[in-house]
Every structure is written in C-alpha cells, then in structure tokens.
Amino acid sequence: MQVLIERIKSNDRKAQEILYKKYADRFFYCSLRYTGNSNDAAEVLNSGFFKIFSKIHSFYFINNQAFEGWMYKILINEALMFLRQSTDNLINTEIDPMVQSSTYSDHHFSEEDCLKLLQMLPAGYRTVFKAPNNDPNFLSWKTGTLTFNNVPLEYVVKVMEDYYGTSISIEKEENKYCRFTSQLKNIPLKEALQMIETTLALKVKQRGLMYSITGKGC
C-alpha cells in the first residue's frame, strides 16, 4: 500500500484508479448509510475521493489501517458536509481528516441515551444525526454492537468491513446468501469471524490484513 500511495502522490492516474476500485464499493456503502439514497451516496463518494487525492501529499504512512482510517474520516466529513448543505441550521460538526489517531471519551452512551439527547435538539439540528434508513447497525460506531437478524452473509461482511475497517471476501457465490443471526457486542474482529465460522460451518482464512470466507457452509 505504501508504494501505491507514493505513486498517487506523484499524480499517477493508474495508481489512483487502483485505489478507487479497491475501496469504491465499501465507501459507497458507508456513504449510503449517511445519505439514504444512491445518487447522493455517489456524489459523496466522488467528492470524498477527490479530497483524498488532493490531500494525500500530507499523509504520513504508518500502516494500512491508519491510511484506511484517514480515508474514512475524509469520507464521513464529506457526507456530513453534504447533509449540512441540504438542510438549514445544522450543527457545525466535523471530523478532522488530518488527525491520524483517535481519542475516545471515557463516557459510553447507550443508543437510548443518544436518541433522548437527539430529541432535545431543534428539528434542523437533528438531520446530521438521524439515520437515513432502518439499518439496525447505523449507530454501531457508538454502541459497539452489531445486530444481524436472519440476514445474508454478504450484508454481514459489508457491515463488518465498515465497522472494523478491513477487507473481507466471500469466495463462493452461494455462500453470500447464507443467513446469519447474531448480536456482536464489543468483540474483536477475529472473534466475530469465529462466530461466522461456528454458526455457518464456514472457514475464514487470513491473508495479511485481508480475510476470505470459504467452505461449503449453510
């Protein structure tokens, strides 16, 4: 990844294309969770990549995970900016994309607490925080809980990629439609993948920072 980043810093269009193709699907899904529709998500995706390519010269490479986190912060900023531009009187809240490490508060709010606080805000202020759809994992970044209720494995993988900031592939097409039910509360990625192995009789293989799911299963 470091070599690819250096090529992008040299304005290598082919390297930009490789990075875009690698992350476009995952970032589109992340954008869709904020915007609620495909057209707006595509707009956020494109503006996000434009910002990534224009700011990448200031990024100091540490490891792949840090780079992915940096890109996610830029993408989320673009999504929040898009929502603010679409609605009057929004909270001026923005994640600093140049911060390459995260500091989390010692105070943990439940989803119910978040919703109570949300209702105390003026109507226009709630737009940024309001889930654009009925995705039960929309607030997973805050609650630390992933909820799956008889959903296809393909959906499970997309949510886990977004939540853990990793890459997971399903080798066999038929396994994408295996149904998975579980609630994962504040557990590491490897434990979550073990739950999939146990529940669906599948195998998870690690290849560097990427994972692949294989086996007959279901």
Confidence (pLDDT) at 212: 92
State the Cα–Cα distance between residues 19 and 1, nearest whole angstrom: 9
Global confidence as pTM: 0.45
40: tokens are: 């707006």
Q: What is the pLDDT of residues 70-98, one digit of tens each?
A: 888 888 888 888 887 776 434 444 445 54
- State yes or no: pLDDT of 141 exceeds 60: yes
CATH architecture of 140-214: 3-Layer(bab) Sandwich (3.55)
Would the pLDDT of 114 be above 60?
A: no
pLDDT for res 63: 85
Q: What is the pLDDT of residues 156-209, one digit of tens each?
A: 998 888 788 788 999 999 999 999 999 999 889 999 999 999 999 999 998 877
Higher pLDDT, 19 or 129: 19
- 2-86 maps to CATH 1.10.1740.10: yes
Q: Domain segments of the chain: what residues?
A: 2-86, 140-214
| Spatial separation of the C-alpha atoms in residues 214 and 202, rounded to whole Å | 6
Helix (H) or strand (E) segment spanning residue 145: strand 145-152
Helices (H), the chain: 2-9, 13-35, 38-55, 64-86, 111-119, 140-143, 153-164, 189-200
Please tell me the predicted confidence (pLDDT) of residue 39: 86
Average pLDDT, the chain: 79
Topology match between the domains 2-86 and 140-214: no
